Structure 1
């Protein structure tokens, strides 16, 4: 028997749309023509109304070759219904009807479109009797969103006496990953390359646990964890996975092996230390040797700055017109500015405004948010301060070439107590400092210290036609945070308000950065640096 043609199926189906959904009825029995003032015309196979009075674009595909056109057709017709028939976008949805075999070609593409398209999109397999007449339609179960195996903050360090021991340790770790259900792990080998004397275990392995996929994980990881360890509440399965790995290596009794806790950002410190060198990366599951990642991607995953998980360092860019990436970009920035509500508010305000102006342009940000002025003094004074002081550097470039550059800084308002006095008041004694350092509360103490010193976070912005040095045609603005949120003051649009905003953050009319403040009070800074370097053994 000859298989029915597509128009024959359409004529049979249009009179019996309830095979697809109860209450579905055709707007007209013929194909529904749509004019198009912007190009190609077209006709909807079946335009229907559902029981909620929504318009439903029913696209029928009979062969595998025509099935490939289905997404193009429903996209076009939904847009034309809005433009040419003036229908509300939220009142339109679409249905793709195809033969069972044709869904092998359609399933992946339709699943992706259904998740990200603004209109509801569904698929149905059309079943025919021996005579080629429609007798039923089965709803297609679209594919769920692919599991995203990103790295979590569950990290650990392992040290070995010999390179062969490290390889043995990694093999044991890989075995545990397999036993726990294709666990995604990422690790970096790093070696002591200088000043090796007194280092009993110079071969390191930095390990991070990826998100646990509950669909494939061992049941042992899905029972949750209610202990006090950091991150366990947010990542219980991943923490239990790390516990299983550490227990396995502890039982192996590798001579001289030691373990230490780690956190996002620590690998960056190791990479910057001339005594250590990263030798390469290892992974299991999504991060094994077959993955498409480059070494720089793997390093960013482990350091945490790829998504702001390190809450210290972040570099990223996005276009506001790419909605999915823009949402992720904003989320990563918020994460990287955790513990710094002032900069978080100011940067969010700048991004809100910049996203409206750049069109199809780009916005990029580099953030260093340690929330620890005392650490900058201890490690950076006097010649390396810029490496440790907080910063925000941002650039928004419109598709027309207009630039907005923003720089975040700590500024001194000319008031506040002396640095040694403020540090002693906040940190009390050496025992309290140690408690703050290892208890993860330095960012809270840092906020208190800045307030006592008269230092505050601000954003300084320049808007102009290019990236050249500041000129008379550029607009200068200062962003400050008030109780009602972030606000920008323009030197051009409102000179008096701009002058007042600058006066609030300046000392005697001059904006003084934290670097200038520290150099201005160099004797006090030297006293604090010597005292706390001696305590924490920094040379």
Structure 2
């Protein structure tokens, strides 16, 4: 929390009536401690006139929307578990000055959260004084829109050609069967002379395009390519066949690419909204649409923050598919996660909340650790199951078997990827996930998952989860059994030195 956000928290703690009349402060930064970093601090804990405990969270300016919602879910679960408070005695307030990214995920969250949760829009001064607050009005959409990870970009040498091509793109999208889609103008306003084509059209669309029973017929019409596993990728090929040659250069887009475009000095603005994206423009602004297209509030190929419930089949199914994408490259986590979701579905767990980070780039993770003790690039996840009867928290972290690595850094790169040049090739084309499991195994680095049942209570148990013959097996955790990956650099200093030297020999600033 930065200085301004801390001032807002302190001001609200002293003036809780701004948020709701009758609130009484219990504590700022209320601690919820637990093993494996599963705890945290509630920004403000209060009590209302009806005796409810009120969890008040202030969304940080640099925090993704769904990450804030995951934290809120976890804090409510830990409050129940560590303090013995039942769900019917808890309510929550999520407070933010900016609701552009929060609008859609919070509206979805209200359907699945276990306790009554209200959003509050606040207006503040530059010194953290809160002038007013009002209730956030949730967005009600009949069928959720979900922007596909498969997107399209067409580049042009001049603005006039780009603008004149917009009707052609719209027509081709409609001819290909799209209804819910939008087209952005992209214009380069940076200083890089390497940018040859500074104008573009960027297409996004909602997925799935068709219902499951319509898939075979749709594939037949598109001319299904067996080499493409994703139906949306096939659709883009179908769209391209309707569009024909256009522009100087074109390519497949995706959320991370769109985010990088924005960071590199491109201006992105919606110029056409079709279908429900046109109908809900008053509810879903252009800024919110762009945030959804970059997956800033939901997740991208390497991270995911989501709160869902098995009782809502469409969002539950989409959650399982998204998890499978984010965990690609980590076979063990992928398998355990899907088995846990199956258990949640069978047990009808009321709320499931996940926060996953999986960059599938162990080389970058290790270089950052050896160079400056940076652990932020290490893959990890948290999964929270909360139900009336019990709270369970699952933690995914990397471990180390404690055996000294015999090879030096350069030889490990060759054994894992073929060569450093091959590694860079795989990184450029987004296929490092095919090599990450092997790269970790060569170093004795393991992907561990721990289950914490009833955290913070006398009944608390901690187990390690493994898969045996397709089934989850719980094993007791001994004090001397676990060795964290953060101990790896200390146990292998020569390996780290040769790894960093090899990287520095071809790339300046890699891992900085």
Scaled by the length of structure 1, the TM-score of the pair is: 0.54
Q: Identify unmatched segments of 5+ residues in structure 2.
A: 1-141
Higher CA-based Rg = 1
Secondary structure of 2:310's counterpart equals: coil
Q: Deviations over 1:477-509 (max 9, x none)?
A: 3323445443333xxxxxxx3229x73xx4xxx
Q: Is the 8 A contact 2:304 2:326 kept in 1?
A: yes
2:167 maps to which residue?
A: 171
Matched, 1:529 2:508: no
Of 419, 438, 463, the match for 1:477: 463
Q: Deviations over 1:196-246 (max 9, x none)?
A: 4443334444323555559999x999544365864577753442213433x
Q: Deviations over 1:6-41 (max 9, x none)?
A: xxxxxxxxxxxxxxxxxxxxxxxxxxxxxxxxxxxx
Q: Distance in 1 between matches of 2:375 and 2:165?
A: 39
Residues 285 and 421 of structure 1, relative CA distance in 2, 3 Å threshold: same
Q: Deviations over 1:151-191 (max 9, x none)?
A: 44542223345555543333331132234445543344445
Q: Distance in 2 between matches of 1:318 and 1:440?
A: 29
Where does 1:72-471 land on structure 2 (aligned, <5 Å)?
Answer: 150-161=146-157, 165-210=161-206, 212=209, 223-225=221-223, 230-231=228-229, 235-245=233-243, 247-250=244-247, 257-271=248-262, 273=263, 275-276=265-266, 278-280=268-270, 282-288=272-278, 290=280, 293-294=284-285, 298-299=289-290, 302-303=293-294, 311-353=301-343, 360=350, 362-376=351-365, 382=371, 385-386=374-375, 388-399=377-388, 403-415=391-403, 416=405, 417-429=407-419, 432-433=422-423, 436-437=426-427, 441-464=431-454
Secondary structure of 1:174's counterpart equals: helix
Q: Distance in 2 between matches of 1:171 and 1:268?
A: 25
Q: Is the 8 A contact 1:345 1:485 kept in 2?
A: no
Residues 239 and 164 of structure 1, relative CA distance in 2, 3 Å threshold: same
Secondary structure of 2:197's counterpart equals: coil
1:138 maps to which residue?
A: none
Secondary structure of 1:186's counterpart equals: strand
Secondary structure of 1:477's counterpart equals: strand
Residues 303 and 387 of structure 1, relative CA distance in 2, 3 Å threshold: farther
Task: For residue 323 of structure 1, report the CA deviation from its aligned partner.
Answer: 4.8
Q: Is the 8 A contact 1:267 1:303 kept in 2?
A: yes
Task: For residue 533 of structure 1, report the CA deviation from its aligned partner.
Answer: 2.7
Q: Is the 8 A contact 1:222 1:237 kept in 2?
A: no
RMSD over aligned Cα atoms: 4.5
Residues 191 and 374 of structure 1, relative CA distance in 2, 3 Å threshold: farther
Q: Is the 8 A contact 2:391 2:454 kept in 1?
A: yes
Secondary structure of 2:442's counterpart equals: helix
Q: Is the 8 A contact 2:150 2:254 kept in 1?
A: yes
Q: Deviations over 1:360-382 (max 9, x none)?
A: 4x221122223222354578984
Q: Distance in 2 between matches of 1:514 and 1:185?
A: 49
Which segment is superposed worse, 342-351 or 262-271? Answer: 262-271
Q: Identify unmatched segments of 5+ residues in structure 1.
A: 1-145, 251-256, 490-496
Which segment is superposed worse, 293-302 or 425-434? Answer: 293-302
Secondary structure of 1:330's counterpart equals: helix
Q: Deviations over 1:425-480 (max 9, x none)?
A: 22223553355346654212222111101112112343445xxxx68874333323
1:135 maps to which residue?
A: none
Scaled by the length of structure 2, the TM-score of the pair is: 0.57
